[in-house]
Structure 1
Amino acid sequence: MQEFAQEYADTMYFTPDEIDKSLGLWLVRSGRNKAKPNYNAGPRAIGHYSMHFVRSGTVRFQYEDTTVMLNKGDMFCLFPDLSYKYRPADLDVVLEMTWIGIHGAQAPTLLSLVGILPSKPYVRGVVSTEVELTLQHFWSVGTLHPGRTRLMFLSLLYQLFDLMQRQTDTTIEPQRDSQKEWIQKSLDYMNTHYCEPIDVHHIAEHVGIHRSYFSKVFTEHLGLTPIKYLIKLRMNKAMQLLKETSFTVAEIAFTLQYSDAASFSRSFSLYFGSPPSHFRIPVQNANR
């Protein structure tokens, strides 16, 4: 590490290009330090998000009118254009930190997933062994692969946030979703995957509710069973494909997870009262 007036530190800086910016997340800097007893950062503001991971010692972190003491394993984040101060809180143990500076539209959302917000820009006990190893990889990637790091760094950033979210989840007492929440979750799941081979078992498992109870409550709230809701989604999609594409009936059947055109046509006729051929638009057929 290079010696400075208040610390020993190494830092790597990165400049995003247009592709980095279009992806919505990029690395600004990566670094590590060992603070000297006179180390005192701020008050200052920066133009990006900077996550500081405490690897040793204790740091006194000040934001707005709040002061917190953070220890080994904790992390605090500097948000763009907000003022912060931080310094060692215990001179008997050397303060060591690793930092990752990021920017982009995705950054605040990812930070919120681990409980980091401007009103509470820190989280305790987030540095697991896996997080520590991932932080080390940022440095080795930047050193060993200069100029070829965009996707490597993105991969490491997502891995870092995934590990931190898992770590923070273990410190929060799980809460059971309300009926309204898990019903919406099931609707989102079906609306996304109705063209896949899913059934009530898959949906109930996804929301973590017993199948029979899930079906009962879903039916009470929606006025139709989960299976009928899936059929509705598939039939509406079938109608769209018949009217807007030149797909054959067999292609539509397989797209919607029917085993053959005949079984699809029977289901379609029962649902709409007429076979699929009735809804073919002549112009579409001519184009075919």
Structure 2
Amino acid sequence: MKEYGHEFAEYLYHTPSEYEKNGGLWVIRTGKNKAKPNYQVGPKVIECYSVHAVIKGCVAFTHGDETVYLRKGALFCLYPGLRYSYRLGEDEENLRMYWLAFQGNQAEPLLERIGFSREKPYVTERWMPEHEQAMTHIQDLVRDHAGYDEILLQSKLYQLFESLSRKAGERVFHHGTTDWLEKCIQYMDTHYMEGVTVTDVVEVAGVHRSHVYQECSNVLGLSPMQYLIRLRMKKSAELLKDRGLNITDIALSVGYPDLYSFSRAFSKYYGMSPTQYQKRSTN
């Protein structure tokens, strides 16, 4: 690490390739530091997202009107355009941190899975030795400007986010639900066009059918069947705008066994037949 006015640090900067930018997440910069007694950063704003992990000591992190004292194992996140500052906390032990700055349209959803939000951009008791290994690997790849592997860097980046979204063996999901319900929602989102049924969803859940119904209703405001219908109806409405597809093609594409059952479901949902909807949307 190099000595600076208020810290010893290593700053690693990365210029993402077009391949990386075509993905949902890419590294901008990363690094590590050991704070001096006069350590302070900000107040300022940054242009990207940046997660900082407290490895040792204590940091006083200020966001908005709140200042929190974060110790070993805690993480805090800087959001683009939001004013922040942080400094050495009330601790005689030297502050040490890792950080990772990144961009991409998946950044904020992935941060939510860890437990961050713009209103509460920190979590405690999260950083583990496995995360340090993943971070070190990312930094090694970024350090090797000429020979780094784009796919491996992307893989390690997602691996780090996946492992940070676990706490005490339990996943943290943006729906705020248990593991089985998240799997159900992802299953329906992925396979609704393949004619999956509520029975299939219950099998994925591995819990009683009535429990699936209750939890889906609490989280989504819809039963599993209603959620599947909504997914199919939205997709069918989108496909009806394509004059190259006939209505039977669309019915079979969104998981219905025949034109009749599709037309009945569509008319009930939208209050008009698929033919009427298609004429209206293409006029």
Determine what percentage of the aligned residue pairs are the same residue.
37
Structure 2 counterpart of 1:119: 119
* CA drift at 1:203: 2.3
> Which has the higher Rg, Structure 1 or Structure 2?
1
After TM superposition, the structure 1 = structure 2 runs for residues 248-263 of structure 1, keeping only pairs within 5 Å, are none
Q: Structure 2 vs 1, CA of residues 199 and 94 (structure 1 numbering), >3 Å: closer, same or farther?
A: same
Cα deviation digits, residues 101-148 of structure 1 (max 9, x gap): 101211111111111111111111110221121111112222356343
Structure 2 counterpart of 1:284: none
* CA drift at 1:190: 4.9
User: What TM-score, normalized to structure 1?
Assistant: 0.66
Structure 2 counterpart of 1:276: none
User: What TM-score, normalized to structure 2?
Assistant: 0.67
* CA drift at 1:93: 0.3
Structure 2 counterpart SS, 1:23:
coil
Inter-partner Cα distance in structure 1 for 2:156 and 2:213: 40
Cα deviation digits, residues 229-281 of structure 1 (max 9, x gap): 99xx9xxx9xxxxxx99xxxxxxxxx9xxxxxxxxxxx97xx89xxxxxxxxx
* CA drift at 1:185: 7.6
Q: Structure 2 vs 1, CA of residues 193 and 53 (structure 1 numbering), >3 Å: closer, same or farther?
A: same
Structure 1 counterpart of 2:55: 55
Structure 1 counterpart of 2:187: 189
Asked if 1:96 corresponds to 2:96, the answer is: yes
Inter-partner Cα distance in structure 2 for 1:207 and 1:171: 15
Structure 2 counterpart of 1:157: 157
* CA drift at 1:197: 10
Structure 2 counterpart of 1:132: 132
The one-letter code sitting in structure 1 at the alignment partner of 2:88 is: P
Inter-partner Cα distance in structure 2 for 1:185 and 1:142: 33
Q: Structure 2 vs 1, CA of residues 209 and 64 (structure 1 numbering), >3 Å: closer, same or farther?
A: same
* CA drift at 1:150: 2.5
Structure 2 counterpart of 1:84: 84
Asked if 1:206 corresponds to 2:204, the answer is: yes
Inter-partner Cα distance in structure 1 for 2:60 and 2:133: 25
* CA drift at 1:153: 2.0
Count of residues in Structure 1 that have an aligned counterpart in Structure 2: 237
Q: Structure 2 vs 1, CA of residues 145 and 169 (structure 1 numbering), >3 Å: closer, same or farther?
A: same
Cα deviation digits, residues 150-179 of structure 1 (max 9, x gap): 22221112111111111277497x9877xx
After TM superposition, the structure 1 = structure 2 runs for residues 24-43 of structure 1, keeping only pairs within 5 Å, are 24-43=24-43
Structure 2 counterpart SS, 1:148:
coil
Verify the 8 A CA contact 2:61 2:70 in the aligned structure 1. yes
Structure 1 counterpart SS, 2:207:
coil
Verify the 8 A CA contact 2:20 2:154 in the aligned structure 1. no
Q: Structure 2 vs 1, CA of residues 204 and 50 (structure 1 numbering), >3 Å: closer, same or farther?
A: same
Runs of 5+ unmatched residues, structure 2: 217-223, 237-243, 246-252, 263-283
Inter-partner Cα distance in structure 1 for 2:185 and 2:78: 37
Inter-partner Cα distance in structure 2 for 1:9 and 1:100: 13
Structure 1 counterpart SS, 2:85:
strand
The one-letter code sitting in structure 2 at the alignment partner of 1:209 is: V
Structure 1 counterpart SS, 2:86:
strand
The one-letter code sitting in structure 2 at the alignment partner of 1:90 is: E
* CA drift at 1:80: 1.1
The one-letter code sitting in structure 1 at the alignment partner of 2:10 is: D
Verify the 8 A CA contact 2:31 2:98 in the aligned structure 1. yes
After TM superposition, the structure 1 = structure 2 runs for residues 166-177 of structure 1, keeping only pairs within 5 Å, are 166-167=166-167, 170=170
